[in-house]
Amino acid sequence: MLGTNNLKKIHFIGVGGAGMSGIAEILINMNYEVSGSDIYPSLITERLEGLGLNFFNSHNKENLENVDLVVFSSAINKNNPELVEAKNRDINLIKRAEMLAHLTDLKESIIFAGSHGKTTTTCIAAHIFKENNFDPTYIIGGKVSSFESNANLGNGRHILAEADESDGSFLLFSPDKAVVTSIDNDHLEAYDHSVKKLELAFISFIQKVKEKVFIHDEQKSLIDNLNTKADIVTYGFDTNSDFQILNFSQNEKGSLFSLKNKIANTLYDFETNAYGKHNILNTVAAILVSLDEGIDYSSINKSLKTFPQVERRFEIISKNVFSQNIILVDDYGHHPTELINTINTIKEIWPKKEIVMAFQPHRYSRTKALFNEFVDVLSKIDNLILLEIYPASETPIENYSSQDLFEKIKNFNKKAVLVHGIDEAFIELQKFKNEKYIFLTQGAGNTSLLASKFK
């Protein structure tokens, strides 16, 4: 598809999305004529316009003039006028993941998959590669503050990208190497609400990898007796891991840990700005990918020391909220497992602080599927400010609103409050002007807007 003479103009429906914008940027830099539409102009769309994107601030069939190919994401409604028009005119249509899969076929591909941690792991690996002059191409769902954007067309031989399991599209990839960070009970609506079917999909993904798979040891049972052409390397805190994490400690400045190579019987120490055991696992996965590509331990360690925070992944926004010794952490996590990881990290680093969490549930379908798990986790928060569900284009589901969630939580946590919108949450936070507190803005919706009020 890419590289054919009859493909000149490509149009993106919803070009401002994190996944879509990165692919659009790569194609612009590959000298394709690229247009895109989005009802929400943003700094991302402004930047793409500066690179050459023809941007439309609406979804309209007239936007498809002389278009050869239309790219859309699973978030686009089937009644979208541009999608309907493309079908009526027999314009070639492909999903975002399919376009990404085409791009990854152009270079040596390292694909990062998993229910949690794939964005952070990809960011760390891309940083190490850049710092060691590998000049990789990368397309990432999040952003590192030192990166100009979440995508880069490099001159090096590698392409690093995330693969999305939420709609099964990660099975479009046949990577040279891959990382599987975790498998959890999320997006089960795409797998007939079956964890077993989700696991089988990950097995299928692993079997499509050509050379090597790095996998967190919690998924070891998944790969036992697995028939695959790729070598399997496990990592984690378990003593049976091929690469075992030892001597982990963390404080307000970051984390220290050792990594034992059980295969070669070597032990190396690392230092990183990352917080939490979950992020150390992500760091180790990036280390292993880098080692496998020939970067030595000392160069990797040097790169880790210069790695900045990934936006919205346990990102410390301020240590001086309300001009007091109040820390604000902003985190993208929106699954109960991710909330637990964030909470445990805060309690270990700042054991004397009392948590004030402003949490915004993400999607009605996820709230329904994990309702009891959310109640269990959120009921234990010292001071909970619950926002209304961020729908992400979903329609409400009866009995699974934020009000329903709040009423269940109140049975166990009388201090919890329900607010309507970012401004109300900000007003509520002002009731906690005391340095005994630590603020946490949590969720995948627009809670970053709440965090930004304190910048």
Among 45, 104, 119, 121, which one carries the catalytic annotation? 119
Q: Is 367 known to be catalytic?
A: no
Q: Is 177 known to be catalytic?
A: no
- Nearest C-alpha neighbor of 89 from the set 58, 72, 67: 67
On whether the CB atoms of residues 128 and 272 are closer than 8 A, the answer is no
The continuous run of DSSP H or E covering 181 comes out as none
Rounded Cα–Cα distance for residues 28 and 17 (Å): 16
Among 162, 315, 338, 388, which one carries the catalytic annotation? 162
Rounded Cα–Cα distance for residues 178 and 163 (Å): 10
CA-to-CA separations, 229 to 114, 213, 276, 322, in angstroms, rounded: 20, 10, 33, 56
SS3 call for 307: coil
**Strand pairing report for 266-272 and 243-251:** unpaired
The continuous run of DSSP H or E covering 178 comes out as strand 177-180
Q: What are the DSSP calls for 121-136, one per residue? A: HHHHHHHHHHHTT---
DSSP bridge pairs for 55: 36
**Burial classification of residue 313, based on how many CB atoms lie within 10 Å of its CB (0-12 exposed, 13-18 middle, 19 or more buried):** buried
The torsion of the CA quartet 406, 409, 415, 419, rounded to 10 degrees, works out to -20
Q: Is 162 known to be catalytic?
A: yes
Q: Distance from CA of residue 347 to its chain's centroid?
A: 23
Q: What are the DSSP calls for 20-75, one per residue? A: HHHHHHHHHHTT-EEEEE-SS--HHHHHHHHHT-EEESS--GGGGTT-SEEEE-TT
Rounded Cα–Cα distance for residues 154 and 22 (Å): 13
Among 45, 118, 208, 367, which one carries the catalytic annotation? 118
Q: Point out the residues that are catalytic.
A: 118-119, 162
